Each structure stands twice: as C-alpha cells, then as structure tokens.
Amino acid sequence: MAPPHRAVAAGAGRPLTLRQELVRKAVHLGAASIPIGYSLGVPRGLLEAVLSAAVALALVTEAARRASPAAGILFNRVFGSLVRRHEERAITGATWLAVSCLALVLLLSRHAAVAALWCATVGDPVAAIVGKTWTTLRAPVHEARKTLVGSLAGAVASVAGAWLLAGYPPVRALAIAGVAALAEAMPVNVDDNVRVAAAAGAVAQLLA
C-alpha cells in the first residue's frame, strides 16, 4: 500500500479528460497577465519580485507535498484532479512555468521577454486546448497527444502576441512563433513550459 502522502484525489493519476484539461489550461492562461503587464510598463524589478515569490511558493509546495503526508494529502485534494500522471512524483507544470517566466524576465530584454512569455503562457496552452479538443472529438481518448491542428493554433496565437504585444515585425514574429510551436511539439522528456520558453526566448532575443 502507498504511504498516506501518496494518496491521490479522485481523478488524479489518470489521463486528464477534456474538461480537466480545459480547467488546467484556463489557469495556465491566467499567466498571460505577465506579458501583458510587462508590455504595458510594469517595472522589471516589481515583476522579478512577484515572480520570485511565486517560484519560492511553488518550490516550498513541491517540497512539502513530498516531505509531509498531511501536505501531500491536502495538495491532492485541492489539485489532484488537474495533476497529470507523471507529475505525481515529478515537478508540476505550474512550477516549471513559474521558473521559466522568472528566467525570461531576468535574462532577456523587455521586448524579447514579452514575446517569449506570451508564447509560454498563451501559445502553449492554446495548442494543448485545441489539440485536446480535436482528438477528443475525433475519438474518445484522453491521453495527451500533440497534433498538427494544435501546433498551428498555438503558432497563430504566438504570432499575434509577438507582433501586436511585443512589437516584432510580422516575419520575425512568425519566426519566434514557429520555433515555439516546434519546441511545444517535440517528443522529448523536458517539460513543455521549459522547452517553449527557452526556444522562443532565444530566438526573440536574437531578433530583438
């Protein structure tokens, strides 16, 4: 029998349904306030402080749910239905997203960071939502799948942000979005929040 802190809430550890995926990505999309705020002039120092606090909280939560049975049970009761199978014993996507956003703000120029942050907080979840919806409508399966439709939708969303929000010319915005979409679709064992942020950030900085 698994120890008490490994107990999971109903639905945890199973492939996410379409509804659960939509809820998870809706929370993810809430992070779009970061690039929007940064593009509107939120001071870099303030954003660094907020993101540092978010990363610290996420890391403390990650440590607590492993070290304390009570904390593990509480975490699973609150977030268990939104946790993917591999995240039960690994760092969650939300933690990786917070770390990635902080790294982008710390390492990149403002315009490059805005573009990469948009790809990570909007392009990536849009790709997942469209891809999940597409596969679910075509067949009643709930395993995570990368789809061409989802990748194209994510690329379109990323182009819009890199162009209209970050101020890149359309061709450069398309290059940033294309790299982000390729990174999101790559079948590698690295969290997609990290892949998208790193790839989009590198190209955005080169083209800034």
**pLDDT tens-digit series, residues 165-207:** 999 999 999 999 999 999 999 888 899 999 999 999 999 999 9
**Residue 119 DSSP class:** I
pLDDT in tens, 14-51: 566 767 777 777 888 899 999 999 999 999 999 999 99
Q: How far apart are CA 167 and CA 160, in angstroms?
A: 10
Return the structure tokens found at 56. 């610290």
Return the structure tokens found at 205. 């900085």
Q: How far apart are CA 84 and CA 169, in angstroms?
A: 37
Predicted TM-score (pTM) of the model is 0.84
pLDDT in tens, 97-153: 999 999 999 999 999 999 999 999 999 999 988 988 887 666 544 445 678 898 999
**Contact indicator for 101, 197 with CB cutoff of 8 Å:** yes
Cβ-count burial of 143 within 10 angstroms (0-12 exposed, 13-18 middle, 19+ buried)? exposed
* Residue 111 backbone phi and psi in degrees, to 5: -65, -40
Quick one: residue 119, left, alpha or beta (phi over 0 = left, psi -120 to 50 = alpha)? alpha
